Amino acid sequence: MSIEFREADRLFHLKTPASSYFIELIRDKYPAHGGWFGSLRERKGSREILRRDRSFSPNPTAEDRSFSLDSLPLEYSAWGRTDLRSPALQAVGPDGSMSLDLEYREHRILAGKPALTGLPSVYVEDDTEADTLVLTLEDPLTGLLCDLVYTVFTRRDVITRTVKIRNGGGERIVLQRVMSLCLDLEHSDFTLMQLSGAHNRERHIHTRALYPGMQSVESRRGTSSHQQHPFLALLEGDAGEDHGTVLGFSFVYSGNFLAAVDVDQFDSPRVLMGINPFDFSWTLGPGEEFQAPEAVMVRSGEGLGALSRTFHDLYRSRLCRGYHRDRERPVLINNWEATYFDFDSETILNLADEASRLGIELFVLDDGWFGERDNDLTSLGDWFPHAGKLPGGIRPLAEGVISRGMSFGIWVEPEMVSEKSRLYEAHPDWCLRVEGRHPSTGRSQLVLDYSREDVRDHMVETLCGILGGNPISYVKWDMNRHLTDVGSRLLPAERQRETSHRYVLGLYDVLERVTAAFPEVLFESCSGGGGRFDPGMLYYMPQTWTSDNTDAISRLAIQAGTALVYPPLTMGAHVSAVPNHQTGRTVSLKTRGAVAMGGNFGYELNLLELSREEKGEIKEQVELFKRRRHLIVKGSYYRLLEPWKRTDRYAWMTVSPDKREALVLFVSVHTESNHPYLSLRCKGLDWDRHYSINGKGAYGGDELMEAGIRLPYPLLEAEAHEYHLLALD
């Protein structure tokens, strides 16, 4: 078993292949964090939990001033009984008070990993992959029960955590804060790493030293958002890419979140991760329960590189699901930047003719194919073909594309409705809105109330009708605004703060039903690009449009930040026209192609406007990617430069599982005259093998990893260099 309980010491030992996590029952009542270390055979108490009288740390009982929950490293903290740090749990009891005292009641150790009802989570395919500890705590006064659930993977350095709250009393309890993870650490000698940005500038890597007080990233936008990301990493001491201890925390959720580190008066950090409490409450009647989303914890003793590869392997194979999980993804072209709203069937088929000649495998029809959608002011919700653009409907166009040797896909935005639409005219009450206020809009659209069963049923029926009635093999699911006026007409006043979470649960319900009905359709999620690139969405859709910004140079930072947590297989990455529509920058087709091959490859440009030479280069790119995309599916990802330290050069490589093949990419963003001679040291190769580089020479794996590959001189701005390594023995 990967979980042991030593009865004599009241000590739980949670063991992954390279880490040990300890939980100690203090006074047989309070689960305390006993440390998260590299792999230990056992813990005999060389670093015991100390207790002493700490000034202004109150005591549960007057007879022992050395004991306070305020200075105890708790596994889960409730507000009100001497712990004055940021709590994991807050609730209003039947008497109106917010005081809770969670005491250990019992525990269970289970084989495998239970699924979470109504929520995405990582999974196992057989019970030998993981063991699960359920620690049940109880507040004796209110009858509130709290199940702390830890799943420990036997062959991965991963521990997942979640919490289930149950009302075991006879009166209602109102939850106001439920964190999925609470972890108290001993010292604050850490650098915090986060992924932050904006629309068209998602998931840039930022670092800062921990300091006293609260430091956090959070979303209040109804989604995980472009602006912040549900992930934190803590780098201990001088830890870096390939050395040192790094702790990573990722939240499997797609709505408002809080990821925080609170450094207390004793310089001890508390890590918290969960649903953002700023606009949350949940009423539990007697016998009712609340299931919190899942948080994933990874510990690496070999730096950020190993941490990223652990997350990649887990999310690629035990979060993503279904038919496309382990399959190579098609090279696609999307018509959006080629035509925007201005197209008809003839235009699309002309583009498809050219795409087919260049070897592209999937044609995606983007926004504008439905209702009276000639701009972004109208028709969301009216999911029937635009009579002027597609007079014969979707099927003839799709069949025309398929007859040209490609598959066919469409864009949808099923969570939204336009005020100028038949759906809104028929059901104005189906939107999120606050009674008495005219609803605010974003992109001239409103948000459908997915907390309502009737809204969800309508959308499932509509989408299944489209997919069932037409030969569609790919769906791009978009969401182009965040949530405001968050209210539901079907909820009473005292439960309105449940709306945001109920919206996310409703979204998951729709996604589960639609994707289960069409398991061979490839779904890609999108929210104005990467505004909802999170583990929750990947559970239903195995890839995400990484950013609406298709500029190759901008994409370097965006894709590097994304790859801190997510495998390249989950990233949509396309070549677009120049000057780029988002930045106005002009970059060579070679560099645009090289950067886009860092994910699921495709194009967003008008092929009919390209020169013969450009079309020839695109055809070569497509053929090249097809030969190498197996590395995206199964390869291990290595950063060769640290993008949080410098942004003038980017370099990474992907290595096949058997280490016989690798692809190295280097991009020089900015350069100076008379710059130093540079080389790239490879990683992840077989030390004893010999490799050719772009079909030439025979170089030892040891040489390539120690001496490296010499880069050309001089390096030019926005210039990409690719090195394909192939084992010769």
Question: Quick check: 242 and 296 in contact, CB under 8 A?
Answer: no
Unique residue bearing structure tokens 């026209």: 577
The pair of three-digit structure tokens given for residue 256, joined into one six-digit string: 């408002």
Unique residue bearing structure tokens 């690719």: 722
Centre a 10 Å sphere on the Cβ of residue 465 and count the other Cβ atoms it contains. Answer: 12
Question: Quick check: 154 and 2 in contact, CB under 8 A?
Answer: yes
Centre a 10 Å sphere on the Cβ of residue 211 and count the other Cβ atoms it contains. Answer: 12
Unique residue bearing structure tokens 């499997």: 252
C-alpha pair distances (Å), 203 with each of 89, 504, 554: 29, 22, 11
Q: Is 245 exposed, middle or buried (0-12, 13-18, 19+ CB in 10 A)?
A: buried
Q: 534 catalytic, yes or no?
A: no
For the chain, the straight-line distance linking the first and the last C-alpha, in angstroms and rounded, comes to: 40
* Identified catalytic residue from 131, 478, 551, 686: 478
φ, ψ of residue 378 in degrees (nearest 5): -150, 160
Query: Which helix (H) or strand (E) is 138 found in, with range?
Result: strand 130-138
Q: List CB contacts of 666: < 8 A, sequence separation 6 or more.
A: 640, 649, 650, 651, 680, 711, 720, 721, 722, 723
Euclidean distance between CA atoms 722 and 522, whole angstroms: 29
Q: What DSSP character marks residue 328?
A: P
**Angle, vertex CA 166, rays to CA 35 and CA 273, nearest 5:** 40
φ, ψ of residue 46 in degrees (nearest 5): -65, -25
* Identified catalytic residue from 70, 548, 551, 686: 548
Euclidean distance between CA atoms 125 and 354, whole angstroms: 43
Unique residue bearing structure tokens 């896909």: 409
Euclidean distance between CA atoms 293 and 536, whole angstroms: 9
Q: 374 catalytic, yes or no?
A: no
Strand partners, 370: 385
Question: Which positions are catalytic?
Answer: 478, 548
